[in-house]
Amino acid sequence: MFEIEYEQIEGNKEYEKIIKQVIERCFNEENLNDKNVEINIILTTPERIKQINNKFRNIDRTTDVLSFPMFEKEEIAVIKKNGSKIKEVLGDIVISTEQVEIQAREYGHSFERELAYMVVHGFYHIIGYDHIKEEEKKIMREKEEAILKKIGLERKI
């Protein structure tokens, strides 16, 4: 279902617990259980995510989360329907845990909630959703918030 890699930071069981909860719910909601697919999640530093952002997106600044899908949205639909004969990696989600901590303080909610949001946000990018156009953003946000609500980490207004 998922692999976690720590790049230039220490492993953390609490991070893993949150990620597991989010990914399991995402896979369930999007009918990806038993489809022979997984997602890679890389937790790293602001410096490292800045390097990755610059290398792959030509944007020389740090960020909170980057998503690198391996399939088009139409291909994901086929995988959802038929599964995969071989183990497929749907994509990579790179998260700066330090940036997650900063944003959690800025937004006035827990680190747990902000990390969960980064994971669900990255997941939906991996399976073909985006937020550039307003109508697409609305759909993506609704899906993200539904997942967070189901695991008890919805936005507190």
Q: What is the pLDDT of residue 132?
A: 87
Give pLDDT tens digits for 73-102: 999 999 999 999 999 999 999 999 999 999
Which domains occur in the chain, in start order? 2-150 (3.40.390.30)
The first and second tokens of residue 110, run together, are: 């827990």
Following DSSP, what letter does each residue of 76-113 receive, concatenated?
A: HHHHHHH--SS-EEEEEEEEEHHHHHHHHHHHTS-HHH
pLDDT surpassing 90 at residue 43: yes
pLDDT surpassing 80 at residue 157: no
Mean pLDDT in residue range 121-128:
97
In the chain, pLDDT over 70 holds for what percent of residues?
A: 99
